[in-house]
Amino acid sequence: MATCPRCRGHLTETHRCPRAPVRVAAEIGLAAVAGGLVGLLIVALLDPHGQMTQIDTVVVTVGVFAGIGLDRLLRG
């Protein structure tokens, strides 16, 4: 079987070279930042006092992981 000259993987009809690890890390990082900002926006809209509490930190953290998960779900 032929091999890809770029990535040395099996060269089939549906072959696609894997993306560079730096690019994948950048995509995950941007998804995390976007999710965190959405979580922070939700906290800012729902909390009129503007005081970050433990639950607000949890909401932002969940936003980070939801952003990463959504990015991986839509890309994979």
Listed in sequence order, the residues at least 6 apart from 72 whose beta carbon sits closer than 8 Å to its beta carbon are 28, 31
Give the mean pLDDT of 29-46.
Answer: 89
3-class state of residue 42 by DSSP: helix
Token pair of 24 as six digits: 């994948």
Give the domain ranges of the chain: 21-75
pLDDT (tens digit per residue) in 7-33: 888 888 888 888 888 888 898 899 999
Token pair of 11 as six digits: 């060269």
pTM for this entry: 0.70
Predicted confidence (pLDDT) at residue 1 exceeds the cutoff of 80:
no
* DSSP assignment letter at 3: B
